[in-house]
Each structure stands twice: as structure tokens, then as C-alpha cells.
Amino acid sequence: MAAALRSLYFWILFILSFSTLALAQDQNQFIYNGFHEAKLHLGGIATIHPNGLLQLTNTSERQKGYAFYPSPIKFNTSSSQSLLFSTYFVFGMVPGSLNFSGHGMTFVISPSMDFSEATATAYLGLFNTSNNGLLTNHVLAVELDTVVSPEFKDLDGEHVGIDVNSLISNESALATYFSDSEGKNKSLKLVTGNQTQIWIDYNGAEKLLNVTLAPISVPKPSRPLLSTVIDLSQILLESMYVGFTASTGTIANDHYVLGWSFNRSGKADNLDVSKLPSLPPPPPLSIPSKKGRQIPDSMIIVLVVALSVVLLTIGGAVCIVRKKKYEEIYEGWEREYGPQRISYKNLYKATKGFKDKELIGEGGFGKVYRGVLSSSDQIAVKRVCHNSGQQAMKQFVAEVVSMGRLRHRNLVQLRGYCRRKGELLLVYDYMPNGSLDKVLYSNIRPNLNWFQRIRILRGVASGLLYLHEDWEQIVLHRDIKPGNILLDADLNGKLGDFGLARLYDHGSIPQTTNLVGTVGYLAPEFLRTGKATTSTDVFAFGVFMLEVACGRKPIEPAKVDLVDWVIDCWNKRAILDASDPRLEGLYVEEQLELVLKLGLFCSHPNPDTRPSMRQVMQYLDGDAKFDVSPNSNLLDAFRASYNEASNTVMPFASLFENSSSSHTMSTIDSILNGGR
Ligand SMILES: *[C@@H]1O[C@H](CO)[C@@H](O)[C@H](O)[C@H]1NC(C)=O
Ligand SMILES: *[C@@H]1O[C@H](CO)[C@@H](O)[C@H](O)[C@H]1NC(C)=O
Ligand SMILES: *[C@@H]1O[C@H](CO)[C@@H](O)[C@H](O)[C@H]1NC(C)=O
Ligand SMILES: *[C@@H]1O[C@H](CO)[C@@H](O)[C@H](O)[C@H]1NC(C)=O
Ligand SMILES: *[C@@H]1O[C@H](CO)[C@@H](O)[C@H](O)[C@H]1NC(C)=O
Ligand SMILES: *[C@@H]1O[C@H](CO)[C@@H](O)[C@H](O)[C@H]1NC(C)=O
Ligand SMILES: *[C@@H]1O[C@H](CO)[C@@H](O)[C@H](O)[C@H]1NC(C)=O
Ligand SMILES: *[C@@H]1O[C@H](CO)[C@@H](O)[C@H](O)[C@H]1NC(C)=O
Ligand SMILES: *[C@@H]1O[C@H](CO)[C@@H](O)[C@H](O)[C@H]1NC(C)=O
């Protein structure tokens, strides 16, 4: 009897171990048409909905979400030949009610499922500041990134990238797919609420990693979007987890995965599209409208057409009669700048002869006109007077041309130039919403809302960081203020007039004073020494941040200066009282507090206490923590160093003589850490 029992027990054990073996083999391939019964390992705010939809993030700010296949996959890394895998999944990104999108998601192969230390926002929940780029990560990821992060050399738009151990992609491309039926590439929007499919195939024999993207209705394109040579046997370990990460920033969208198949020993099977769960529809938009009464489109078209016909006819007549108006100066040395040279005749026509009607601004450097080159191509033309000699002119033109090579979504693009006697014309992209000061101080309600303001601040910070650190040479702006921030059609902030301050250096502009810049935004040490640095730009940016948050000019007659006023509010433990009344109390408290305190540190009289633009960017993105909790020590530290640096009862007026305090506070970090 006992023997019979023992033998039964043996058989049961045998059968059990056999079936686990079979399962273990299956674990190298799987298919999920929806995730109803999937026992995925979830992390962050990821959840699986009852209909089988895997949601990685919602639209909450600065969140992370993870989902991993729970058992490790065995990769044969002993030789590169035998290593292959293939995966296919359908995902969806649904914008939030403000139609923002951020930050993106990844498919990841990693030695661990623990990403609790990774950072959200631009780090996509994959890495953090200290492990980004380390060879010891052994991480391969394919990123679907919807926000441009210049610090990771991102392409300018929604993009797909292959990332090895780092968020700086080995190879990336804007989201497009090859349409076999039309025989051409077509662009693809990711954050639409529509389903998108992606195939990731690796073949160790060719060492080729292919990534292919397509809308759900299109079969797998014959040409991949990315096809990169890479030896994964050097990167992957034998036992790896596969899954997804996603993150949101101060702007956010929902990230979903609908179905997923993975295969380590052959092509990943297709999903059964009919069985996939459906995506929730995008929420109704709640963007505050800028416009009041709408004029019917047809009427606008008729008006515009009529107006341009009349003006063009008159303009044309004028052109014929006064041909010599088009005279310009063109010298031999300019030949190499041919492509950047724009003829005066074209500019004259585009601006309808520099009519006052087309005048859109007047600044320190000259008048700015709006122009239309072709039906949809609008430009802004800046006329700058100059009286410099040939040598200085040569140098300046060389610089203008090099400024034209600066490319960043938060810089107003310089397109080219033209030269006439005593006059230089600079041609820029046209910004339909004009300069920020006009919008900020207008009485139109609703004014810029908080989300728009913080987006503008982040944008300008990112543009300035690019000028300071990410281009081949350091470019100082020297005149940051709302009047030099221009707004595009979507109210993104762009820095204008960068590099132009150099005109003064070349003596091109008759000058009454050595100082370039605007009173109220000038750092005390600049007023003392006349030497501009990245730190004097940070000072101006600090004042600018305060101005955008408070809706007040830095210096107004019969009013306490903006900086002092914000400090007063902080002293009274009511720093939020400084907020712009036009916001009508609608803001995110922590963000406003961060902007105000960070603005104060940036505009600190002691340059050593100011953060760098890179730090400012990290604080604004939430990638580094700026302590805004009610913390008396932070205030005390600020006050102590502030008083020491200014050493006077009337800070602003006397800053220039007195701020050379020998006792320097160390960097902002030590203040913050000391304040904890
Ligand atoms: C997002 O998910 C988290 C965790 O489930 C929840 O606390 C939060 O309210 C959600 N946010 C939104 C906007 O749905
Ligand atoms: C890994 O690949 C090598 C070379 O192709 C082969 O000899 C070896 O048996 C493979 N190992 C496993 C565990 O499959
Ligand atoms: C949402 O924003 C995108 C660009 O950011 C734009 O193309 C799209 O039309 C917007 N959608 C709506 C419904 O306004
Ligand atoms: C970054 O992540 C690693 C582990 O992935 C962790 O050890 C480290 O402390 C993290 N660093 C920061 C600054 O959070
Ligand atoms: C590309 O991948 C390799 C590993 O194959 C890595 O060592 C290298 O740093 C990556 N290059 C870039 C530009 O990220
Ligand atoms: C989403 O898909 C529908 C149906 O295929 C299509 O008509 C629509 O243009 C798509 N939306 C976007 C923004 O691509
Ligand atoms: C990757 O794409 C290239 C070019 O289309 C193709 O020749 C190769 O077979 C593909 N490799 C894999 C693993 O799909
Ligand atoms: C289409 O996209 C692929 C991959 O990004 C690129 O290599 C190719 O040059 C593009 N073709 C055209 C005609 O733009
Ligand atoms: C994996 O590949 C093998 C061989 O091509 C195929 O028979 C199997 O169906 C695939 N499995 C999945 C889940 O894709």
C-alpha cells in the first residue's frame, strides 16, 4: 500500500515537473490580445482595465507607469549569431483635456523590473540623472517620445528612437511610416487617441535592429522606420525582463497598450485586432478661447484677397516707377553667403514697401515689419541702421550667418539678411501672436492661463540653455525680457533677438552708453563691470520668471520694485499673494511657488548663488527637487545672502556699488541642502 502511494506520488511529481518545463519553454514567447488574464508585473500608476486595456499613465503630472512580463526571458548571448527576438504591440496615446502631450513611453529589455529610482518627465521612467548613459545598465529601449528634450539631442517633433543604456538615442527618426500603396513616407501623429502598431525585430546574424511603425489600419510596411546595426550580444544579459515604461511631465497624456506579442525564437505572431480592447475617446477640450466674436472664414478670405490685390497692384506700380529703390550693397566677400542673402526687392515686396501698416514692432535695434513671401510663408523683417566700416561689417555678417545655423524650437529662426547703404535687414520667421509683453499686459480676458505661462517659461529656459550650453559656442542673449519673447500660433514662447547685442561690440550702432540690455533686468555685476556672462542672462531670466508669474514690470513708478515685493510677500509667508491677479487664482500652487522662489534665486545679486540654466531647467521639469515646502531655513538662507550681497536698505538702486561682497555664498545647492 505504502509502495503504491509512493509510486503515485512519484508520478504526480513527474507530471508536475514536466508541465512546468513545458511552461518554461513557452515563457520565451507569448501573445496577449488584450490583457484580461495577463499576470503582468505592474509598477507606478499602471493598471489593467476590466476590458483588458493596459494603462501605463493617466494625465496626472510627473508620474511613471510600468508593465513587465513577469518571468525573465532567456537570451542566448554566447554568440551574436544565435541572438534574435521579435515583438509586436499596439499602443495608443490619448491627449488630456488641455490637448497637451507628454512625455512618452518605451519598450524596454532590462535585467531588472525595478525602476522605482528612475525619473519621470524626459527620463521616460527609464533612467535618472545618475545612471543615464552608464554601460552597466544593460538596457535596450525603443522610445516613443512626444516631447522634444534638447538635453537628449531629441529630434524636433514626435519621434521614435533606439536607446542603448542612455536617453540619447543611437538612432532616431520623426514618427513616419512607409506607405507601400503610395510608395512614399507618410508622417504619423502619436498623441491622437488612435491606435498605432509597432514592430521591433532583431536578427543577430545580420546584427540589424529594425523598428517599424504604422497606423492600425495599415499592414506592416515593407521598409522599417529605423534599421540600425547593433550587436546586442554585447548589451543584453542571459536573463532579461521585457516590458514597457511611460512617464508624464508638467504636461501629460494617457499611455495605453492594447495587445502585445513577443517571440525569442521567430517572428512575433500578429495580434487579432478584432479582439483588442478599445481606447477611451479623448476628453472634450477645455482650452480657454482667445478670440471673442468670430468673423466668418469666407468673409476673412474675401477681405484678405481684396486687400492684397489692392496693395499688390499699388505696390507693383510703385516698384516700376521707382526701380532704384531696390539698390543694395553686395561685395565680393559675401559670395559665400549666397543662400543666406535675400534680395531687397523681395523684402520690399513682401512688406508692401515697408508700409507703416506692416510695422509690428520697434525696439532697441530698429523697426520690425511683417511680410509675406509666398501665400503661406510669413516673415518678419528687422531694419537696423549701421554706420560701421567694411571690416566690422564683414565680421558681423559672418556672425549673422552663423546665428542662422542655430536651430531650436524655442528660438525665433533667423532666415537670412540683406544689406543696403547705412542699413542692414534681418529676416526672421513671423510669429503670429506677437511679443509676450503685449499679451501679458493686455486686458483681454481670459489672459494667458497658468499652463500657458509655465509652458512659455519652460520653453524660453530651454532655448536659453541651448544658447548657453548646447551649441558649438556660447551665445549670450543679453536682453531677455517679455518684449523679446515671441509667441507662435500655439502660444509657445520663442526667444528673439539673440546674439544681436554683438552689434554694439562691433560699433555698428551709434551708442550713448556701453550698456546693452534693459534697466530692471541688468545684473549688478554687469552694471559694475560691463561684462556679460551666462550668469547675467540667468539674472534677467529670473526677473522675467517673476514678471510672468506676477504680471508686473520689474520697475514701476511709485511702486516697490518687483523683486523686493516678492521677497516681502515671502517674508510675510504669503508668497502666493504676489501672483498675477489676471490669473484669477487659477494656478497650481506648488508650480507658482517654485517659479517665484526660483525666480528670486536666479535674480540674486550674488552671481555665485544663481543656478545655471541647466539647473533651472531641471527644477522646472521637476527632474531635480527644489524645496518649496514651507521652510523657514530656505527663506533665512536666501535673506541672509541677499542682504549680505546688497548690504543696503534700498537694494535695487545701490546694488551696483555694493554687491562686491567678499563673503560669497556657495551655490544654490548648498543653500538648499543647508536649509533642510
Ligand atoms: C491617475 O492615477 C492615479 C493613481 O491611480 C490617481 O491617483 C490619479 O487621480 C489619476 N489621475 C487622473 C487625472 O485620472
Ligand atoms: C547558444 O548558441 C550557441 C551557438 O549558436 C549554441 O552552441 C548553444 O547551444 C546555445 N545555447 C543555448 C542554451 O541554447
Ligand atoms: C491638439 O494639438 C495638436 C498639436 O499640438 C493639433 O494638431 C490638434 O489639432 C489639436 N487638437 C485639437 C482637437 O485641438
Ligand atoms: C538612480 O537609479 C539608481 C538605480 O537604478 C539608484 O541607485 C540611484 O540612487 C538613482 N539616483 C538618483 C539621483 O536618484
Ligand atoms: C550606440 O550604441 C553603442 C552600443 O552598441 C554605445 O556604446 C554607444 O554609446 C551608442 N551611441 C550613442 C550615440 O548613443
Ligand atoms: C484617427 O483615425 C481615424 C480613422 O482611421 C482618422 O480618420 C483620423 O484622421 C485619425 N486621426 C488622426 C489625428 O490621425
Ligand atoms: C531589417 O530591415 C532590412 C531592410 O528592410 C531587411 O533587409 C532585414 O531583413 C530586416 N531585419 C529584420 C530582423 O527584420
Ligand atoms: C523614408 O524614411 C526612411 C526612414 O526614416 C528614410 O531612410 C528614407 O530616406 C525616407 N524616404 C523618403 C523618400 O523620404
Ligand atoms: C514564435 O516563432 C515560432 C517560429 O517562427 C512560431 O511558430 C510561433 O508561433 C511564434 N510564437 C509567437 C507567440 O509569436
Name the band, by pLDDT with cuts 50, 70 and 90, for residue 617.
very high
Provide mean pLDDT across the span 531-549: 94
Residue 518 has pLDDT above 90, yes or no: no
CA of 78 to the centre of ligand 2 (A): 7
Name the band, by pLDDT with cuts 50, 70 and 90, for residue 474.
confident
The least confident of 27-31, 195-199, 364-368, 620-624 is 364-368
Angle CA(389)–CA(402)–CA(175) in degrees, nearest 5? 160
The share of the chain scoring above pLDDT 90, in percent, equals 45
User: Is 382 annotated as ligand-binding?
Assistant: yes
Supply the pLDDT for residue 356.
Answer: 87
CA of 192 to the centre of ligand 3 (A): 8
Name the band, by pLDDT with cuts 50, 70 and 90, for residue 630.
low
Q: Are 54 and 258 in contact (CB under 8 A)?
A: yes
CA distance readout (Å), 205 to 33, 202, 241, 357: 30, 9, 22, 66
Ligand 1 neighbourhood includes 57 CB (under 6 angstroms): no
Ligand 5 neighbourhood includes 233 CB (under 6 angstroms): no
Ligand nearest to C-alpha 213: 8
Q: Rounded to whole angstroms, how far apart are CA atoms 560 and 548?
A: 17
CB-based pocket (< 6 A), ligand 8 = 173, 176, 178, 184-185, 225
Ligand 8 atom 3, closest CA: 225
Name the band, by pLDDT with cuts 50, 70 and 90, for residue 336.
low
CB-based pocket (< 6 A), ligand 6 = 189, 192, 194, 217
Supply the pLDDT for residue 22.
Answer: 35
Name the band, by pLDDT with cuts 50, 70 and 90, for residue 458.
very high
Assess whether 479 carries a catalytic annotation.
Answer: yes
CA of 189 to the centre of ligand 8 (A): 17
Q: Collapsing DSSP states into helix, strand and coil, what is residue 23?
A: helix
Nearby residues of 643 by Cβ (< 8 Å), 6 or more positions away: none
The least confident of 129-143, 218-232, 304-318, 635-649 is 635-649
CA of 191 to the centre of ligand 6 (A): 11
pTM of the model: 0.56
Task: Identify which has the larger pLDDT, 326 or 528.
Answer: 528
Ligand 5 neighbourhood includes 164 CB (under 6 angstroms): yes
**Rounded to a whole number, what is the largest CA-CA distance in the chain?**
121
DSSP 389-436: -HHHHHHHHHHHHHHTT---TTBPPEEEEEEETTEEEEEEE--TT-BH
Ligand 9 atom 9, closest CA: 269
Ligand 1 atom 3, closest CA: 45
Ligand 7 neighbourhood includes 210 CB (under 6 angstroms): yes
Nearby residues of 16 by Cβ (< 8 Å), 6 or more positions away: none
pLDDT tens-digit map of 271-326: 999 999 999 988 887 644 444 445 556 677 777 788 888 888 887 777 666 666 66
Catalytic residue among 479, 561, 580, 623: 479
Supply the pLDDT for residue 228.
Answer: 96
Ligand 2 atom 13, closest CA: 76
- Domains of the chain in start order, with CATH, are 25-271 (2.60.120.200), 332-429 (3.30.200.20), 436-672 (1.10.510.10)
DSSP 476: -
Q: Rounded to whole angstroms, how far apart are CA atoms 441 and 582?
A: 9
Residue 507 has pLDDT above 70, yes or no: no
Task: Identify which has the larger pLDDT, 119 or 404.
Answer: 119
Ligand 5 neighbourhood includes 171 CB (under 6 angstroms): no
Q: Are 431 and 412 in contact (CB under 8 A)?
A: yes
pLDDT tens-digit map of 110-165: 999 999 999 998 899 999 988 999 999 999 999 999 988 877 888 888 999 999 99
